[in-house]
Amino acid sequence: MRPLFVRRARQLVTLAGSSAAPLVGKNMSDLSIMENGSVWIENGTITAVGPDDELVRRFADRLAEAEVIDARGKTVTPGLVDPHTHLVYAGSREHEWTMRLGGATYMEIMNAGGGIHATTKATREASEETLYEESKRRLDQFLLHGVTTVEAKSGYGLSLEHEMKQLNVAKRLHDTHPVDVVSTFLGAHAVPPEWKHDREEYIRLIVEEMIPEVSRQGLAEFNDVFCERGVFTPDEARRILEAGKAHGLTPKIHADEIEPYGGAELAAEVGAISADHLLRASDDGLRRMAERGVIGVLLPGTAFFLLTNAANARRLLDAGVPVALATDCNSGSSPTVSLPLVMSLACLHMRMTPAEALAAATINAAHAIGRAHVIGSLEPGKKADLVVFNVPNYVQIMYYYGVNHAETVIKDGKVVVA
Ligand code: NIG
Ligand code: FE
């Protein structure tokens, strides 16, 4: 493979130096930006990052063989990382959106058999091939927006057979698509209709059958629970997350989205890698998260699309909780693949600075899925996942909102979008 030389970025945003621990507090604004910076790439890996003249000198005898990308006047960042998606599902729920625009709430629709249940029905009915094709289309769109790694949750199968089908599709996508897919088991996304009158039995199935099998087949790294009144209680979530831990699955949690429910506290107690949503997390919950280093994954696209106030990121940042950002891509509460738009919303509705938003969608997002040793920053030894944005500085990626500025995407050292 020829070396790849990305040269002379107006802003090369490296985010170097934070692979060991997530950025927190004031450090979230420290992007380590280089002007007129270049990156030398070999065999899918970053070999060197530095001022252009320095790299030209160092690789003088190999310049002729390298493929060159001229990034003059542009901004180069690490490939964006989306640490919370429901990528693999079938169908679409625009009719529910129309109902919500008319005044119905998300929970009303779910309790009437729509919401997660509607997507579960469509996902169960879809063949593995259809599920693969529908999800692949979304993954293609993620890539076009500069996203090179996504986390993907199951949770629309809600039976051993169909959860496995979803996780198998995620694995196939990881194996066949340029975007890396990191899987999370979310059997506890909802109690499916057939167990509505015996939720205890459904939880037993998760704990005694699904988790062991997912773990045995190595189909997920993380185990997530939708912990919310009317879905799973904190006690149920604790049992499920502890069972996952016993089988090597790291806990994640959908926490305190609709009302304060002890989700942030539970995340700290079980040592979750992240707690996500957190719109209504208590002060004490946030303090405990900060103490245990639990990352807060904020999802401003979801609040925007559900017509609710977004989480106040400043509360988390002031409490010392490292913040990451994600799309929550799903057909009910956030049908988007645009992580850059989510970054704009984080600035507009959550009071994050553009610098914090970019750190939250790169290195901190990588930490939220246990990948910060390989992705999330531009440093020698890391995977060569980079985006060239056709704007002169990183703020414009978010400022010109709703526009896709990603021009060239490099994944594992290969140009995959040009
Ligand atoms: O993260 N909150 C739970 N799950 C998703 C929504 C899933 C759906 O509506 O299909 C979320 O917002
Ligand atoms: Fe979610």
Per-residue pLDDT, 294: 98
Pocket of ligand 1 contains residue 328 by CB under 6 Å:
yes
Q: Is 84 annotated as ligand-binding?
A: yes
| pLDDT for 167 | 99
Tell me which residue has its CA closest to atom 9 in ligand 1: 332
C-beta 184 within 6 A of ligand 1: no
**pLDDT at residue 128, rounded to an integer:** 98
Ligand 1: residue of 92, 110, 116, 225 to mutate (most ligand atoms within 8 A of CB) is 116
CB of residue 153 inside a 6 A radius of ligand 1: no
Q: Whose CA is nearest to atom 3 of ligand 1?
A: 226
278-308, pLDDT tens digit by residue? 999 999 999 999 999 999 999 999 999 999 9
Average pLDDT, the chain: 98
- pLDDT of the residue at 262: 98
Span from the CA of 83 to the centroid of ligand 1 (angstroms): 14
Q: In testing the pocket of ligand 1, which one of 333, 334, 336, 342 has its CB within 8 Å of the most ligand atoms? A: 333
Residue in the structure block whose two tokens are 């009071």: 351
For the chain, percent of residues with pLDDT exceeding 90 = 99
Please indicate whether residue 300, judged by its CB atom, sits closer than 6 Å to ligand 1.
no
pLDDT of residue 206: 99
Residue with tokens 């990191």: 182
Q: Give the pLDDT of residue 165.
A: 98
CA distance 99 to 106: 9
pLDDT category of residue 406 using cuts at 50, 70 and 90? very high
Residue 258: φ, ψ to 5°: -100, -35
Cβ(231) – ligand 1 distance below 6 Å: no
Dump pLDDT digits (tens) for 62-97.
999 999 999 999 999 999 999 999 999 999 999 999
Mean pLDDT (whole number) for 83-112: 96
Indicate if ligand 1 lies below 6 Å from the C-beta of 119: yes
- pLDDT digit string (tens) for 304-321? 999 999 999 999 999 999
Q: Virtual CA dihedral for 49, 54, 57, 63, nearest 10 degrees?
A: 40
Please work out whether the CB of residue 78 comes within 6 Å of at least one atom of ligand 1. Answer: no
Q: Is 254 annotated as a binding residue?
A: yes
User: Measured in angstroms, how far is the CA atom of residue 328 from the centroid of ligand 2?
Assistant: 5
